[in-house]
Amino acid sequence: MYGVCKKICLSFIGLSVLTISAQEAALIPMVDIPAGTFYMGSEGKGEDYDEAPLHKVVISHPFRMGVTEVTNAQYEQFRPEHKALRGKDNVSAGDDEAVVNVSYQDAVDFCEWLSRKEGKYYRLPTEAEWEYACRAGTYTSYYTGDGLPAAMQRNQIVARDYKPVSLKVGQTPANAFGLYDMHGNVEEWCLDWYAPYRAGEQVDPAGPETGEFRVTRGGSHHTPVQYLRSANRMAMIPEDKHSLTGFRVVQSDYRPVPFGKEVSGAFFADPIPFVVQPVLPGVPFYRHNHQPSVTWCDNGDLLAAWFSANEENGRGMVVLFSRLRAGAEAWEPASLFFKVPDRNMTGTSLFNDGKGTMYHLNGVEAAGDWQNLMMVMRTSTDDGLTWSRPRIIAPEHTKRHQIISGTSQTPEGWLIQVCDAGPGSHDGAAVHISKDGGKSWTDSWDGAPLPEFKEGGKGTTIAGIHAGVVSLKNGSLMALGRGNSLKDKTGRKRMPMSLSTDLGKTWTYYASEFPPIDGGQRLVLMRLKEGPLLLVSFTDHPQRTPEAERGMEFTDSEGNRFKGYGMYAALSYDEGKTWPVKRLLTDGRERFLNGGAWTGFFTMDATHAEPRGYLAGTQSPDGVIHILSSRLHYRFNLAWLLR
């Protein structure tokens, strides 16, 4: 599991850890830590709740780590004035004792100084690297077993006043990687901001982009022994410094990327669930959670909403929401977002207009079905913390009002809301347009019956339900939808594309180049801030597509062709005429995931992505593309799509 685990002796690179002099201290003894996989955390019982969930972590890169904590002599070559703090609180007086009374920034500054001095990149370890290195292949409480030997303890009690104890490094047995003092001696600063663990397998996790506290690990002298366990998590205000905490360094060319930070390179994050069962009493939560919508908040949060019901055409349906706070790595438990008592609530859309206002549009039925809905709207100017009273924007309880996630905006600032034109799977879609910031809305439908959807045909309804609609640069509207498939020149069924040059009054129908989608599937069509159009859809329907027509051809980053199955992304740089970039939405790692709703469990690997789901999407100002399926949240950027 860990590759080759190396043991080193105390005389690593010719220097005895026990006899490092001030002149020799620039050469910090290091040991090689191989890449590998381990399970991080614990079951998280009682006060150790923040160690859960136990989750698989891949450390994709080898690195080198300090055999011991940085000593006084080593640190003081960088900052000589620190010598005045030696012996404070009866600890750490000698050259070869672990340095303490250093803040997080002090530790970072030392790493930067050492990097310049030696021409190599030094940094603090991430929390995942630290636990991986500490465990060294073990899953007991300590790398020594279920208990910590007395020789490795430094007055492990709650002490109001510290007794004199030696913090001399390297005096007790090393772990299988050759690291000393990973349990006790002094706490060690880690690179990460402290945050709850994310569920699911992760690769090189590095915590959130921002936070209040920085992680410390390992425990220290004058600390009860249970806080010295491999899994135990601690944290400190970064500016804090005291006699319990020091640090050790990592040397690696790998530079960790915090979750949520905009990156210029390719970025694909581990899928995480956004449907999280409520913890507050009185919040209804049913077995069927479906039809999500998502948008970004000005403060950096993400907001997702969806319906929860036992029956889609029942009166018990509620609209729930969850928030992913800026820098956090897990969505908060669900709360009640919107509910008219004993009314069906089918259809939710969230949208941030980029001008300080967030919109929530929802359907409300008079009874329990989803055919005869009116449309209501709420707004928020405080990142979704409070919302206006619902205002009716389409009062008739009728067809053409089933709101679909994907509210968009024209270059003029007009709002476009797509709705299903009826409850059937081939009833097409309608657009409602507001030219005054949502105060008034119009549906240009002239009452004509559903058209015959055919190649080159025209009508007053978009071909396909659950449609995505974008405004093109020439002022036209383009839509792609589910159902109402059209045949291309070869006679093969294709996803229908609808074009309107009169703001949705009339549409012309064409067969797109994409395969049709079916039950339990919904696409996303949006314009990225970088310019291209983005389609996220599915290669086929796993139960309804003939086997011979399943899958699509893709090209990997090395130019190799392969057939892939499931959710994919496509890019157009010419307003939907051609789609030269198509990417299966997987990073190639095998995962066993729960897609929720109609999707259920599926395997994600190099040739398989999520097979179906009701998709919703947004792109946050940091450039990250966020796609929700019926349960899972995917994050990637344009650079990853273009790899």
| Residue 157 clears pLDDT 50, i.e. is over it | yes
Indicate the residue among 405, 425, 453 that finishes a domain.
405
Cβ proximity of 429 and 464 under 8 Å: yes
Beta bridge partners of 614: 522
Domain that holds residue 357: 272-405
Instruction: Quote the number of domains for the chain.
Output: 2
Cβ proximity of 493 and 484 under 8 Å: no
Give the CATH number for residue 110: 3.90.1580.10
Give 3-state DSSP helix, strand, coil % of the chain, rounded to 5: 10, 35, 55
Confidence of residue 101 (pLDDT cuts 50, 70, 90): very high
Q: State whether the Cα torsion 497-500-504-505 is positive or negative.
A: negative
Q: Starting at the edge strand that comes first in sequence, how are the strands of the sheet with 214-217 ordered? A: 234-236, 214-217, 187-193, 245-246
Shared-domain flag, residues 284 and 183: no
Assess if residue 360 is contained within a domain: yes
Residue of 41, 103, 59, 70 lying closest to 181 (CA atoms): 70
Looking at every residue in the chain, the average pLDDT score rounds to 91
| Residue 603 clears pLDDT 60, i.e. is over it | yes
Instruction: Locate 155 and state its tokens.
Output: 């007055």
| Residue 249 clears pLDDT 70, i.e. is over it | yes
pLDDT in tens, 505-543: 999 999 999 999 999 999 999 999 889 999 999 999 999
Shared-domain flag, residues 389 and 246: no
How many other C-beta atoms can be found within 10 angstroms of the C-beta atom of residue 200?
A: 18
Assess if residue 62 is contained within a domain: yes
Assess if residue 378 is contained within a domain: yes
How many other C-beta atoms can be found within 10 angstroms of the C-beta atom of residue 459?
A: 19
CA distances from 572 to 12, 522, 564 (A): 56, 19, 20
Assess if residue 519 is contained within a domain: no
| Residue 449 clears pLDDT 90, i.e. is over it | no
CA distances from 362 to 337, 377, 406, 417 (A): 11, 6, 12, 11
Residue of 560, 541, 559 lying closest to 551 (CA atoms): 541
pLDDT value of position 261: 53
pLDDT in tens, 39-85: 999 999 999 999 999 999 989 889 999 999 999 999 999 999 999 99
Assess if residue 256 is contained within a domain: no
Strands (E), 102-200: 122-123, 187-193
Assess if residue 186 is contained within a domain: yes
Cβ within 8 Å of residue 161, ≥6 positions away: none
Q: State whether the Cα torsion 195-197-200-203 is positive or negative.
A: positive
For residue 83, the SS3 value is: helix
pLDDT value of position 13: 26
pLDDT in tens, 315-368: 999 999 999 998 888 999 999 999 999 999 999 999 999 999 999 999 999 988
Shared-domain flag, residues 139 and 172: yes
Shared-domain flag, residues 217 and 311: no
623-640 average pLDDT score = 94
Confidence of residue 370 (pLDDT cuts 50, 70, 90): confident
Instruction: Locate 338 and state its tokens.
Output: 């919107």
Indicate the residue among 387, 405, 423 that finishes a domain.
405
Q: How far apart are CA 510 and CA 497, in angstroms?
A: 5
442-464 average pLDDT score = 89
pLDDT value of position 257: 74
Q: How far apart are CA 152 and CA 204, in angstroms?
A: 30
pLDDT value of position 24: 37
Instruction: Locate 339 and state its tokens.
Output: 């509910």
pLDDT value of position 61: 86
- What is the DSSP pairing of strand 613-614 with strand 521-522? parallel
pLDDT value of position 265: 64
Cβ proximity of 470 and 481 under 8 Å: no
Cα 583–chain centre separation: 19
pLDDT value of position 521: 97
Shared-domain flag, residues 163 and 281: no
53 preceded by cis ω (within 30°)?
A: yes
411-433 average pLDDT score = 94
Give the CATH number for residue 344: 2.120.10.10
Q: Pick the more confident residue, 59 or 17.
A: 59
C-alpha angle 514/517/518, rounded to 5°? 165
Shared-domain flag, residues 369 and 282: yes
Shared-domain flag, residues 288 and 139: no
For residue 373, the SS3 value is: strand
Element holding 309 (H helix, E strand):
strand 302-309
Give residue 571's region: left, alpha or beta (phi > 0; psi -120 to 50). Answer: beta
| Residue 631 clears pLDDT 90, i.e. is over it | yes
Backbone angles phi, psi at 165, to 5 degrees: -135, 150
Shared-domain flag, residues 99 and 148: yes
Cβ within 8 Å of residue 544, ≥6 positions away: 518, 519
Shared-domain flag, residues 246 and 307: no
For residue 640, the SS3 value is: helix
